[in-house]
Amino acid sequence: MSDGFATSDDPDVTRNAGAFAEAQGERGEDHQSQIIEALIARRSVLPEGSSYARVADATLAASSRTAEAELRQARLRSRAADKNWLPSLGPSVSLLSLSSIVASLVVDQVLFDFGKKKAEREFARADVEAAAVALSQDENDRVHTALSLYLKSEEARELAAASGGAVTRMREMETIMAKRVEGGISDMSELAVIRSKVAELAATQADAVQAGRTARAELAAMTAGSLDTVHGIAKLTIPGDAVDPLSLHLAHAERDRDIAEAAIARAGLLPGLSAGAAISSRDGVTGPDLVLSSDNGIGFSTPDNLKAVDASKEAAERRVAQAREDAARRLAALSQERAGLAARAGRAVDLAAQGQANANLFRRQFDAGTRTVSEVVTVIESMARLEAEAIAAKYAGARADIEIARELGLLADGGEI
């Protein structure tokens, strides 16, 4: 599948394999990334063939995948850094006099640099890992956004249907009351009250229909293909503690990158040894010359600068611990919220069923002459409210499920990214 910005036959710019698999394949056996391997092993918790999976597939198929382009950039930088141990070549032009110019080719080879070149390679590899996690987060966020819009449209559809049923019942009572008013049995004020309740329920139905249309239009704008026939929600089975959140993987990648950056900064404060030679048409080959130099020079502030660099490594480790704590706290809060919503949804469904039964009972009693129109209208209004609460609780639980799945990065298969 084309990624939208490259049509070359170069394997680096095609999607014959997943972006993660390509990034891992470029690394030597000694530098295989555990983070990228964990991303590849991730499996979506969306049931295959379900409405959720169909929405996710359509959403990912239409993704512009900006983060994938950034991952490719990081991979190219890493490939370039892997060759930084080779000698560097550069031209040199000297003006000896107003009429004499000497051009030469300078060759420079680093012999000892306190691990700077190695740290540059490690920095580039960690940058690839961070970009890979960012891509996984981007794809999971996109699926989450699409599923949120889908759930919003489905909730609106169910609410519109429930409100429509209540409107039908209420209009039947309105018709009966209108005939009573015409016959002089009931007062016009009672009819006005019923009509206002009909108008409120009809407005709720119209708002739900409009909200559903808006959500579907937004969903259609970010998906490939029509999803108008897709309905219903799916039950998700989330592994929980068996999977590390994506935010924790990103913290690990950023820690490795920060530590490598600190190593580069430390090497820049210390003297390094390099050998250089020059080739010119005038002097032939000159050198090799040994050069002892420091990128930042050595001064009275160097010891403190070295301590600051070492302290930055400790800070990077502590950021990982903080990220682990923050992720655990968010997941704990979401899990408790999901449990509370599940209990609330169960109670709301029972109450809605009771409200439906009461409405049916009061209508039969009204037909038998033991209930008044006002009593039946009140029960219908209560039934509509309970049904709306049950629908809201049901979809709140569904949203909590996909929020937990997004936090863990389980809304898209890692091998397919």
Q: Flag residues of the chain having pLDDT under 50.
A: 1-17
CB 388 within 8 A of CB 162: yes
Q: Give residue-wise pLDDT tens across range 359-402.
A: 899 889 888 878 888 888 899 999 999 999 999 999 999 999 99
CB 73 within 8 A of CB 23: no
pLDDT confidence of residue 20: 83
**How many whole angstroms separate alpha carbon 108 and alpha carbon 102?**
19
**How many whole angstroms separate alpha carbon 140 and alpha carbon 143?**
5
pLDDT confidence of residue 100: 61
> Is it true that domain 43-83+123-269+319-416 has CATH number 1.20.1600.10?
yes
3-state helix, strand, coil split of the chain in percent (to 5) is 65, 10, 25
pLDDT confidence of residue 287: 66
Residues facing 358 on adjacent strands: none
Angle at 208 between CA 204 and CA 210, to 5 degrees: 120
Q: Phi/psi at 89 (nearest 5 deg)?
A: -120, 140
Question: For 104, which DSSP code?
Answer: E
Q: Domain segments of the chain: what residues?
A: 43-83+123-269+319-416
pLDDT confidence of residue 21: 81
Q: Give residue-wise pLDDT tens across range 104-121.
A: 777 777 887 878 888 888
pLDDT confidence of residue 284: 65
Tokens 């109670």 sit on residue = 347
Token duo for residue 175? 């018709």
Q: Model's pTM, two decimal places?
A: 0.82
Helix H or strand E encompassing 285 = strand 284-293
Token duo for residue 156? 């609106």
